[in-house]
Amino acid sequence: MRRNRRRSRLRRVVVVVVTASSNAFRALTRAPKRAQLRRHAAAVGKYGQHGAEVTGKVAFQGEHGAYSEEAVFQHFGDAVATLPCQSFEDLFAAVESGEAAYGMLPMENSQAGSINKAYDLLMDFDLRVHGETILRVQHALMALPREDGEANPLKVRSHPQALAQCENFLKSNGLAAQAGADTAGSAKEIADGNLRDVAAICSRLAATRYGLKILQLGIEDNKFNFTRFWVLAKGDAATPTTPKTSVVFAVSDKPGSLVAALEEFGRRNVNLVKLESRPRRRTAMPGFNYIFYLDFLGHHADDACRDALLGLLSSCAFVKLLGSYDAAPPLAEQLADESEGPVNDPTLMQI
């Protein structure tokens, strides 16, 4: 009997060791090889954060050279074809109709806050979030190239938000602000109309696009100026490696209903990273009724996230899944890769 017990314990130990070794071996074989990592790094360098070639166009709101187009190139790489759209509605329609494979939609700015129109349209169209990118907004003052002895412009045209973000610079240099339809559109107007007495505030991409000379770069009052974009497309995104999920929901009008909804995530240790309310526009109820946009870390199919969403469905008036997608790289990584040399470059023309 004792000998049999020893043999039984030995078999159990052997099984555990073999199982652990097999799991470790499978994990090692699944780990990316150096060649795979090199190919991935090359793909990111060529195709941006998206990491793969896109055959269709990517729609954005604004003129060529807009910050949204700069975000497109950051996410998909410089070789991607872009489709400028006059409005956010046109952007959604282009993706929904198949004219564009993706849409680059600005959601919020670290200085100006959320873009309400973008959030509202997510309720009107059945598109999913396929990715996220965060763009460092660096405003540049530009004008038509100066001739010898020609004075720099004293009037500056741009989108009102860009003008507000450069208010201290404009005041300290005695420049008069003129509101334009958008940033890149202002640059295009100056180039097309040969307006030599007006400068524009927009991106470096716009200067290249319209042949303008950058007079000064980095003129924004707050250097930590970022815009978060969502990449929209039809259907669900590919399985993300750093998953983040966005949903929109409405709770019943009774005490504790919102707390109960959020506790579905807290009980399961799901990390919530954003919660925002918006008035519900299409409702038969009088007065103000609110919907909530929620971002959390994890994929909607993960056990904890799935159970939290099921709990949300059981207690809310409605729930809409906007998508699970790859979260943008942390801002600390982006700032570490950036050099502020151009901001203080003494070779740039000063006003």
CATH number at residue 281: 3.30.70.260
Instruction: Give the model's confidence band at 179: pLDDT under 50 very low, under 70 low, under 90 confident, else very high.
Output: very high
Model confidence at 160, in pLDDT bands (50, 70, 90)?
A: very high
Q: Is residue 73 part of a domain?
A: no
Is there a single domain that holds both residue 256 and residue 318?
yes
**Residue 158 in 3-state DSSP?**
strand
Model confidence at 46: pLDDT above 70: no
- The answer to whether the beta carbons of residues 153 and 198 sit under 8 Å apart is yes
CATH number of domain containing 144 = 3.40.190.10
| Rounded distance between C-alpha atoms, residue 252 and residue 289, angstroms | 10
Q: Average pLDDT over the chain, rounded to whole?
A: 83
Mean pLDDT of 131-151: 92
42 falls within a domain: no
Tokens linked to 79: 């070789």
Worst-scoring range by mean pLDDT, 15-19, 166-170, 286-290, 309-313?
15-19
> Is residue 80 helix, strand or coil?
coil
pLDDT at 148: 84
Mean pLDDT of 102-110: 96
- Phi then psi for residue 243, to 5 deg, are -70, 140
Q: How many Cα atoms sit within 13 Å of 238 on the Cβ side?
A: 4
In whole angstroms, give the CA distance from residue 204 to residue 220. Answer: 13
> Are 196 and 149 found together in one domain?
yes
Domain residues for the domain of 193 are 140-224+339-344
Is 60 exceeded by the pLDDT of residue 203? yes
Q: In this structure, which long-range contacts are made by residues 192-199, counting pairs with CB atoms below 8 Å and at least 24 apart in sequence?
A: 194/144, 195/144, 196/143, 196/144, 196/150, 196/153, 197/153, 197/154, 197/155, 198/143, 198/153, 198/155, 198/156, 198/157, 199/141, 199/142, 199/143, 199/152, 199/153, 199/155, 199/156, 199/157, 199/175
Residue 16 lies in a domain: no
Using the predicted structure, report yes or no on whether residue 138 has a pLDDT greater than 60: yes
pLDDT of residue 37: 40
Closest by CA position to 139, among listed 114, 165, 176: 165
Q: Are residues 344 and 216 in contact, defined by beta-carbon separation less than 8 angstroms?
A: no
Q: What percent of the chain has pLDDT over 70?
A: 77
Structural domains in the chain (count): 2
CA dist 75 and 46 (Å) reads 10
149 lies in the same domain as 193 = yes
Tell whether the model's pLDDT for residue 248 goes beyond 60.
Answer: yes
Q: Is residue 173 part of a domain?
A: yes
Whether 250 is in a domain gets the answer yes
- Residue 182 has a CB neighbour count (10 Å cut-off) of 22
192 with 251, same domain: the answer is no
Q: Catalytic amino acids? A: 227, 229
**Would you say residue 278 has pLDDT above 70?**
yes
In this structure, is residue 27 part of a structural domain? no
User: Mean pLDDT, to the nearest integer, of 209-225?
Assistant: 94
In whole angstroms, give the CA distance from residue 166 to residue 151.
Answer: 21
Among 5-19, 178-192, 263-277, 312-326, which stretch is predicted with the lowest mean pLDDT? 5-19
DSSP state string for 194-229: T-TTEEEEE-HHHHHHHTPEEEEE---S-S--EEEE
The answer on pLDDT for 124 being more than 80 is yes
Residues 10 and 211: their CA atoms lie apart, in Å, by 78
Residue 49 has a pLDDT of 67
Structure tokens at 322: 């906007």
Whole-number pLDDT of residue 149:
81
- Distances in Å between the Cα of 187 and the Cα atoms of 39, 184, 216 are 38, 5, 15
pTM of the full structure: 0.80
In a domain, 26, yes or no: no
Q: What is the mean pLDDT of residues 308-321?
A: 92
